[in-house]
């Protein structure tokens, strides 16, 4: 028998699919739905920890790792991560998602030039495939995989990365879609060429995928 849902007289503050701001504010909202206190969390692309700025990480069993910025856990997500299979409730994955980045303003935060110089779009997607495969291995059934991504243009061709990542998750790894969040940046990004051919991308995505229990 299906359980009847009870409408609250005073609803809690709603979580929406779209936000304007930065990653830290987005993650604060997402955590209301998908990060219960006490859960075991692996952030396998920790960077400088900007995702977690507005959260008290003492409330979680938290395992940050990053090849460049976490010397005590310098784990490479393209290889087998040194965690047991099905050992985390939440895995967070935000790899470099700009091919051959050059000198970008955000390089200090994301080490793009150090990690994806010489990459093509297909190489970026392969990074996602390898990292998501490792995330799937260490994720418990019933757990969620959070994947941050952004569409891009290569040689004047549009690549809808968020759709390619969706297909890796659902078709190759048999994950289920739980949610999709859209983050729009506050400042207007620079248009690099006078003869602009495509709309300049000023938003990114956060997928929430569920690992089925059977």
Domains of the chain, residue spans = 28-150+161-188+198-210
pTM here is 0.85
Residue 27 has pLDDT above 50, yes or no: yes
- With residues binned 3-state (H G I as helix, E B as strand, rest as coil), the percentages for the chain, rounded to 5, are 25, 25, 50
| Local confidence band at 8 (pLDDT 50, 70, 90 cut-offs) | low
What whole-number distance in Å separates Cα of residue 201 and Cα of residue 194?
Answer: 16
What whole-number distance in Å separates Cα of residue 101 and Cα of residue 73?
Answer: 26
Residue 12 pLDDT: 66
Residue 100 has pLDDT above 60, yes or no: no
| Local confidence band at 199 (pLDDT 50, 70, 90 cut-offs) | confident
Q: Report the percentage of the chain scoring pLDDT > 90.
A: 69
| Local confidence band at 36 (pLDDT 50, 70, 90 cut-offs) | very high
Residue 11 pLDDT: 61
Q: What is the CATH number of domain 28-150+161-188+198-210?
A: 3.40.50.150
Mean pLDDT of 24-49: 96
| Local confidence band at 96 (pLDDT 50, 70, 90 cut-offs) | confident
Residue 153 exposed, middle or buried by CB count within 10 Å (0-12, 13-18, 19+): middle
Which one has a higher pLDDT value, 170 or 113?
Answer: 170
Instruction: Please write the tens of the pLDDT for every residue from 122-178.
Output: 999 999 999 999 999 999 999 999 999 999 988 778 999 999 999 999 999 999 999
Residue 196 exposed, middle or buried by CB count within 10 Å (0-12, 13-18, 19+): exposed
């Amino acid at each position: 028998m299906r359980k009847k849902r009870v409408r609250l007289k005073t609803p809690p503050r709603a979580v929406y699919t779209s936000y304007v701001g930065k990653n830290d504010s987005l993650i604060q909202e997402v955590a209301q739905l998908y990060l219960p206190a006490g859960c075991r969390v692996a952030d396998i692309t920790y960077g400088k920890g900007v995702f977690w700025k507005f959260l008290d990480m003492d409330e979680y069993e938290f395992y940050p790792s990053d090849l460049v910025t976490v010397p005590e856990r310098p784990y490479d997500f393209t290889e087998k991560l040194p965690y047991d299979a099905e050992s985390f409730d939440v895995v967070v994955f935000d790899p470099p998602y700009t091919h051959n980045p050059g000198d970008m303003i955000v390089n200090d935060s994301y080490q793009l030039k150090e990690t994806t110089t010489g990459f093509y779009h297909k190489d970026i997607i392969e990074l996602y495939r390898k990292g998501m495969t490792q995330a799937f291995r260490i994720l418990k059934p019933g757990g969620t995989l959070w994947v941050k991504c952004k569409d891009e243009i290569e040689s004047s061709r549009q690549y809808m990365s968020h759709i390619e990542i969706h297909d890796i998750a659902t078709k190759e790894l048999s994950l289920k879609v739980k949610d999709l969040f859209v983050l729009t940046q506050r400042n207007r990004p620079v248009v690099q060429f006078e003869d602009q051919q495509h709309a300049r991308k000023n938003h990114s995505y956060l997928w929430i995928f569920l690992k089925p229990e059977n």
